[in-house]
Amino acid sequence: MELKQGTEMFQILNENGEIVNDQKAPDLSDDELKDIYSWMLRIRTFDGRAIKLNRQGRLGFYAPMAGQEACQIASMAALKKSDMLYPSYRDVGTAMYHGLPMENVFLNSRGQITGMKTPDDVNAYPPQIIIAAHVLHCAGSGWAFRLREEDHVAIAFFGDGATSEGDFHEGLNFAGVYDANSIFFCQNNQYAISVPFHKQTRAETIAQKAVAYGIAGIRVDGNDALAVYQATKDAADRARKGEGPTLIEAVTYRVGPHTMAGDDPGRYRTKEEEEGWTSKKDPLKRLRQYLDSKNLWSDEEEERVKEEVLNEMNEAIKKVEKAPKGTVSELIDDLYAETPAILKKQKDEYLSWKEGK
């Protein structure tokens, strides 16, 4: 694949699930293609059920992922389990694909400290709430991999709004200077809460910002799973060969609200815009059409995957709801290896107040 410096859109599958002119499908087996689609379907099903659980008061904070399944799953499918993942709060799909148990996702959403602990065999950090803060961590990990001459890469996922934060610029600049084994994956879903993309930057694209940092940049159709896979695979291959980091801008769309905490997309975007993305550009429909053309998927398999996910979610939420609630003392004790004096004082005051109630 010829690398474009961030202005042209890289696409392999068109909106009808057909290979576009002069493009070649990635070197994926039939089973690998089916696995990517199966996981995208899992995430879409998970998302719908998680929204209902939130509305029932059984989940806390939740940021819907619908519409961004190709970005999250196809990208991670291009990496190795030994690579390090830095997700944001909307990217629990990437974390679950990388090995994070669903139970941890639910615990985290409900404010349980144990939900933030990733298993030892899962190379991922907890979802970052602070916008763009993990871009710096991704740059640092990528630099460490370069210094140790390790065959690993670090990848950070973030939205278009994060590119307006200082941490984004500092992270990319640092990674560029030190040839970090880092991939910066921007899911440009058109809105940072209610702020549209054209109010984030005067630049035509996000990917072209890579030029300023002397790193590779590519703009990819984020609803095209094959293009996302290939772009990420190429970025990882370059990093492993010591050719530096890559900024990927995946152009996609957030179908639901920013979070379930009261956001109403109808106040800042039109129904016509939403339908244009959901009816014509849906990432699942596009990949399903491609699989159908190769006789690789069926309606029976579709229903089986959905049922498996819903059953898994039902068991996970029941288990999580039986877990003991977190405490203020636990929150303070878990923050530092050695608790600072000011926090010890606050904890003592809290315990004294609680005992006096």
Per the structure, the complete domain to which residue 175 belongs is given by 9-325
User: What confidence score (pLDDT) does residue 262 get?
Assistant: 87
> How many of the other CB atoms lie within 10 Å of CB of 200?
19
Taken as a whole, the chain contains a residue count of: 357
Q: Please state, in angstroms and as integers, the Cα–Cα distance from residue 202 to each residue in 128, 168, 188, 209, 211, following that order.
A: 27, 16, 15, 11, 15
Residue 244 pLDDT > 80, yes or no?
A: yes
User: What confidence score (pLDDT) does residue 1 get?
Assistant: 52
Query: What Rg do the C-alpha atoms of the chain give, in angstroms?
Result: 21
348 and 295, same structural domain?
no
Q: How much of the chain, in percent, has pLDDT values that exceed 90?
A: 88
333 and 217, same structural domain?
no
Is there a domain that residue 257 lies in?
yes
* Average pLDDT for the chain: 94
User: What confidence score (pLDDT) does residue 5 get?
Assistant: 58
Is there a domain that residue 3 lies in?
no
Residue 6 pLDDT > 70, yes or no?
A: no
Residue 247 pLDDT > 70, yes or no?
A: yes
Sheet holding 84-86, edge to edge: 9-10, 216-221, 246-251, 182-188, 154-159, 84-86
State the pTM of this model: 0.93
**Residue 84: helix, strand or coil by DSSP?**
strand
Is there a domain that residue 65 lies in?
yes
Each residue's pLDDT tens digit, 322-343: 988 888 888 888 888 899 999 9
Each residue's pLDDT tens digit, 159-210: 999 999 999 999 999 999 999 999 999 999 999 999 999 998 999 999 999 9
Q: How much of the chain, in percent, has pLDDT values that exceed 70?
A: 98
User: What confidence score (pLDDT) does residue 2 get?
Assistant: 52
331 and 280, same structural domain?
no
Domain total for the chain?
Answer: 2
Is there a domain that residue 98 lies in?
yes
Is there a domain that residue 2 lies in?
no
268 and 148, same structural domain?
yes
39 and 28, same structural domain?
yes
331 and 314, same structural domain?
no
Please report, for the domain that includes residue 277, its CATH number: 3.40.50.970
276 and 339, same structural domain?
no
Each residue's pLDDT tens digit, 111-163: 888 888 899 999 999 999 999 999 999 999 999 999 999 999 999 999 999 99
352 and 220, same structural domain?
no
Reported confidence tier of residue 354, pLDDT bands at 50, 70, 90? confident
200 and 344, same structural domain?
no
CA dihedral 70→13→181→155, nearest 10 degrees, is -10
335 and 319, same structural domain?
no
163 and 35, same structural domain?
yes
Residue 4 pLDDT > 80, yes or no?
A: no
- What is the C-alpha separation between 144 and 182, in angstroms, rounded? 10
186 and 68, same structural domain?
yes
> Catalytic amino acids?
254, 258, 268
